[in-house]
Structure 1
Amino acid sequence: MSAPVRDFVAGGSEAETTLAANRAAFDRVTVVPRVLTGGPAPDPGATLAGTRSALPLAVAPMAYQRLLHPEGELATARAAAAAGVPFVISTLSSVTVEELSAAGGEQWFQLYWLRDDLATVELVRRAEDAGCRALMVTVDVPVMGRRLRDVRNGFVLPPEIRAANVAAGATSAAHTPADSGSALIAHTNGAFHPALTWAHLETLRSRTALPIVVKGVLDPADARRAAGIGASAVVVSNHGGRQFDGAPAAVTMLPAAVEAVRGTCEVFVDSGVRSGTDVLRALALGADGVLIGRPVLWGLAAGGEAGVAGVLSVLDGELRAAMRLAGCADVAAARKLTAIMGRP
């Protein structure tokens, strides 16, 4: 990988305080194991937003995956399908939603609300027609976080990489050197709606029958409100430390979000999940599942489809081992374990 692409994947916003806090917070979570539970080998299967999954996880939406491997999202989607877990297609995928539908498996579509409402509606229609099983609306990007690694690198997309689901004219800024130093900041701030409100989500709820997953929630009041307008799930997330630097680590806000919705919708978490033990930690804190991000991209860069498959296989093995050692036979039992969040 080139240094700018590596920085694009690994980096966070500003001083990367929140990026570091995500990982540190997971390391502070301890789970109290149960003993003498007997029974067969653990079953980590789960249902996430109405989609049956072999594991309580989905592959997070991540942009421009052809930066890391020539097949990009196609390779990731095939590996996710083989592993039996949902794959979330990004609005900024470098492969179209129609092409990705041919990869099989369970797929969701992640929606960035564009400035052009008609273009946004068209994205929803295309996702429905392609057979996507849920819509994941990202709500924490009114503007793009100032990612200093990209600024210092003067990061620009190469001409052969583009947001394949978005009209070519809307993505031209991503290929042009910008005064800000990052062409992606210029593109995002020009293309995305800067002033989303709850009314936008209510409109979307009225226009699609697909389950809606609201991604980017940290305040439990926002989780409660999302559930109130009919969201099937919320994702407690700080965008992997790539948006507001100074936001709390996502996993620290998870228990409050779970309590706020009180079973009225599912709760997922992302930002810092790196192992099967982390998945168990999230379940013990009340999550229904997690989203896996950067580890998948590193697998893609290292070995394409086989690399992603390897990452998912490792997570599967780690989770099964953690469940066995913690004395839980399934995801429901894992969610009843006692988890302790240690102090920083």
Structure 2
Amino acid sequence: MKEINDKAREMMKGYCRVCKVCDGRACAGEVPGMGGLGTASSFKSNVEALEGIRVNMRLLHDATEPDTSTSLLGYDMSMPVMAAPIGGISFNMGGAITEDAYTDAIVGGCKAAGVVGCVGDGVPPYIHEAGYASIKKNDGLGIPFIKPWEGAELDEKLELARAAGCTTFGMDVDAAGLITLRKMGRPVSPKAPAELAKIIEKVHSWGARFVLKGIMTPDEAALAVEVGADAIVVSNHGGRVLDHTPGTAEVLQEVSEAVKGQLVVFVDGGIRTGVDVLKMLALGADAVMVGRPVSVAAVGGLQEGVEKYMETLRGQLVGAMVLTGCKDIASVDINVLF
């Protein structure tokens, strides 16, 4: 991973410093780029919230070979981890590799690691085109996250994703704050529950599932259940759309408790290690999404880089489970936390 990160640092110069600790301090306000909006308070809060959580070490048990596998939304995974949807190589990451090479690395690397890669959306069109092509190459194993577009663009992209063989569709409603898209004549906006219900009904009519990304409060989690979402992602969009939000680890427990057993709960934001994964699971997440570190691995090492990062993450998760007495993912609960 050191070689991969060193190469990524060189290739992403001016866009991401690939800091030893990815905490949003060095890149504050660098949007586009890999930073957080404004003061980067929301980005920093994600990392700080996780850092502030401690775990209970337990060694008097027989959990010597933990089972990290899980099944969610019809996917059998080697561990409860997905790659978060991030795109825009040219303006966010320096353009040292093409968007196609990047999405192939994300989706293909995740598939090889036994997990699921998500792809992003945006302007210009090659962002979603590359993502859908990569999913199609990998037999539909990937989740496209489509921005909350106004007008016909949303339906058009849902149809394109369907043609790529997707069985799960996502919408990152937390992208509704990207005013740059509106200035480019491609507006995104919040979605009222009635409109979301119709979108989800359409996706369900295809025999597919729907994930709503950008839920940060228990009341909106309950609304997600009402409109028929199959899963939510507790997310503040990596701190890139609204300054001064809480970190996702701060709100996760309350949000997950509000909808426990009614839909799948994912979370992203500041997850860097296997111990971070364990903490989020203990707070009530069914699985996590990892963003910036996977992007860095893809730029620095393409598919091999993504595979190596996932391998590293799983090794850390296994170690953390052994040292906290968790024999499988189902046994990870709030008692893990100090």
* Shorter-chain TM-score range: 0.7 to 0.9
* Cα distance, 1:32 vs structure 2: 2.1
In the alignment, which residue of structure 1 is the partner of 2:55? 31
Distance 2:144 2:259 in 1: 23
Task: Tell me if structure 2 keeps the 8 A contact 1:234–1:268.
Answer: yes
Give the aligned partner of residue 169 of structure 1. none
Deviation at 1:193, TM superposition (A): 2.5
Q: Contact between 2:282 and 2:335, CA under 8 Å: does it hold in 1?
A: yes
- What's the secondary structure of 2:171's corresponding residue? strand
Query: Is the counterpart of residue 108 in structure 1 residue 143 in structure 2?
Result: yes
Q: Give TM-score, length-normalised by structure 1.
A: 0.82
The one of 183, 189, 196 aligned to 1:194: 189
Question: 1:68 and 1:234, CA in 2 relative to 1: closer, same or farther beyond 3 A?
Answer: farther
Structure 1 residue 124 displacement after superposition: 1.2
In the other structure, the counterpart of 2:278 is: 280
Match of 1:143 in 2: 177
Conserved 8 A contact 2:324-2:336: no
2:81: which partner in 1? 57
Separation in structure 1 between the aligned mates of residue 298 and residue 131 of structure 2, nearest angstrom: 18
Provide the residue aligned with 1:124 in structure 2.
158
Query: What SS does the corresponding residue of 2:36 show, helix, strand or coil?
Result: coil
Q: Classify 1:239/1:189 alpha carbon distance in 2 versus 1 (closer, same or farther; 3 Å).
A: farther
Task: Output the amino acid matched with 2:78.
Answer: A
Aligned residues: 300
**SS of corresponding position for 2:174:** coil
Pick the aligned partner of 1:216 from 179, 203, 214: 214
CA contact (8 A) 2:181 2:188 kept: no
After TM superposition, list the pairs within 5 Å mapping 1:1-344 onto structure 2: 1-6=11-16, 7=30, 8-65=32-89, 67-70=95-98, 71-92=101-122, 93=127, 95-104=130-139, 106-117=141-152, 119-144=153-178, 185-186=180-181, 190-209=185-204, 210-335=208-333, 337-340=335-338
Query: Using a 3 Å threshold, how does the CA distance of structure 1 residues 188 and 325 change in structure 2: closer, same or farther?
Result: farther
Whole-angstrom distance in 1 between the partners of 2:151 and 2:62: 56
The one-letter amino acid paired with 1:53 is M
Identity rate, percent: 30
Structure 1: which 5+ residue stretches go unaligned?
A: 146-184
- Residue identity matched to 1:79: G
Q: Aligned-pair distance for 1:123?
A: 1.4
For residue 189 of structure 1, report the CA deviation from its aligned partner: 5.9
* Aligned residues of 2:113 and 2:307 also touching (Cα < 8 A): yes
Change (3 A) 1:29 1:121: same
Tell me by how many angstroms 1:68 deviates: 4.8
- How far the C-alpha of 1:259 sits from its partner, in A, is 1.1
Question: How far 1:293 sits from its partner (Å)?
Answer: 0.4
CA deviation profile, 1:190-248 (whole Å, cap 9, x unmatched): 31332421122101111112211110110111011101221111111111111110111
Residue 192 of structure 2 aligns to which amino acid in structure 1?
Answer: T
Tell me by how many angstroms 1:314 deviates: 0.8
Moved more, 193-202 or 322-331: 193-202
Quick one: which amino acid aligns to residue 100 of structure 1? I
Report the CA distance shift for 1:208/1:122 in structure 2 as closer, same or farther (over 3 A). same
Aligned to 2:8: none
What's the TM-score, normalizing by structure 2?
0.83
| CA RMSD of superposed structures (Å) | 2.0
Q: Which runs of 5+ in 2 are unaligned?
A: 1-10, 17-29
